[in-house]
Amino acid sequence: MKRREFVEGSAALGLLAALSSVAKPVSALSGSSTKKATASDSAAVTNRLTPPSHGKIPVAFVVSQGTVMIDLAGPWEVFNNVMIMSRGSSMEDQMPFQTYTVAESMQPVTLGGIKIIPDYTFANAPAPKIVVIPAQNGQTGAMLNWIRKVSKTTDVTMSVCTGAFVLASTGLLAGKPATTHHSAYKSLAVQYPDITVKRGARFVESGNIATAGGLTSGIDLALRVVERYFGRKAAEDTAYQLEYQGTGWTDPASNATYLQAATGSDEHPLCPVCGMEVDPKTAPKSVYKGKTYYFCSQDHKAQFDAAPEKWL
């Protein structure tokens, strides 16, 4: 349940205040007693953002066919569950983020089998202060132009998972560090050699541009954005409301398990493009310098065959 729904369904705001003060354990209120000190210190907020004193912070989610559900839904729920009671007495001020979807047209878009109707098109969308780019398949020139245009005035333009490829296509990642899903590290580095790909990063920030690792990493980057606007406690309170146990938002190096590339064997070879385990009996294959390589798809085989030395 979102805080908005909870509050609107309560008899009075006093009920929420009472629950907030009674239901939370001391560790949730103090914010650090159950966390590792290194995690709390490693992502100190030196790049704070200044929220408006009242009113909404508009958050635009760029969508097209094939948008990955959790890449959108994770950050969406983070922003929609932020409540800053000190901002004023009205709900409009206390819940500072306004989320909406933007697409090429108002035609329904499929997200993991679920269809949604976008709120706006690139032609009429309100100017956002935050842009979220999930992984998706429907990249177009209009999308890229819109992202370039609005990012001139955003506080944060962030990608989630392989949404980094959309962001990279705009040119906004050129010369910057970035991350993506661990299976796409190589692809991002090969396709965009001017990007410094950060393996093992939960998220990477560079000016008003930020990239998250795969899938659930988007939740952590969204919590990090909340922290940059409103401080550590606001982000902790939001995570508590969501019953989110992850602490990756406090430590950008927390994806260290993906720091080293996985290794395969003759019995269990890995696709050299994405690292997926494949069946050598049925997988497409190529021979390069006397060694046989197996692939998860014909598309990845073609990418490898075009420039095998880049993938190795």
> What's the CA gap between 15 and 83, in Å, rounded?
15
pLDDT tier, 115 (very low <50, low <70, confident <90, very high otherwise): very high
Write the CATH number for 248: 3.40.50.880
pLDDT tier, 167 (very low <50, low <70, confident <90, very high otherwise): very high
> Whole-structure pTM over 0.85, yes or no?
yes
Is residue 169 domain-shared with residue 311, that is, in the same domain? no
What region, left, alpha or beta, does residue 162 occupy, with left being phi > 0 and alpha being psi -120 to 50 degrees? alpha
Is residue 215 domain-shared with residue 127, that is, in the same domain? yes
Q: Which residue has the higher pLDDT, 33 or 169?
A: 169
> What's the CA gap between 2 and 177, in Å, rounded?
34
Pairing of strands 291-294, 130-133: unpaired
Is residue 303 domain-shared with residue 243, that is, in the same domain? no
Long-range contacts, stretch 145-152, CB < 8 angstroms, 24+ apart = 146/62, 146/102, 146/122, 147/62, 147/172, 148/172, 150/60, 151/208, 151/209
H/E run at residue 164: helix 163-169
Compute how many other C-beta atoms are within 10 angstroms of the C-beta atom of residue 217. Answer: 29
pLDDT tier, 291 (very low <50, low <70, confident <90, very high otherwise): very high
Residue among 25, 91, 39, 47 nearest 227 (CA): 47
Note down the domain range covering 280. 262-312
Domain count within the chain: 2
Residue among 271, 250, 248 nearest 261 (CA): 271
Residue 43: its pLDDT value, please? 57
Is residue 119 domain-shared with residue 231, that is, in the same domain? yes
Segment 62-78 shows an average pLDDT of 97
Whether 166 maps to a domain, the answer reads yes
> What's the CA gap between 71 and 173, in Å, rounded?
19
Whether 30 maps to a domain, the answer reads no
Structure tokens at 168: 């990279």
CA 262 to chain centre: 23
Is residue 164 domain-shared with residue 276, that is, in the same domain? no
Q: What is the DSSP letter of 137?
A: S
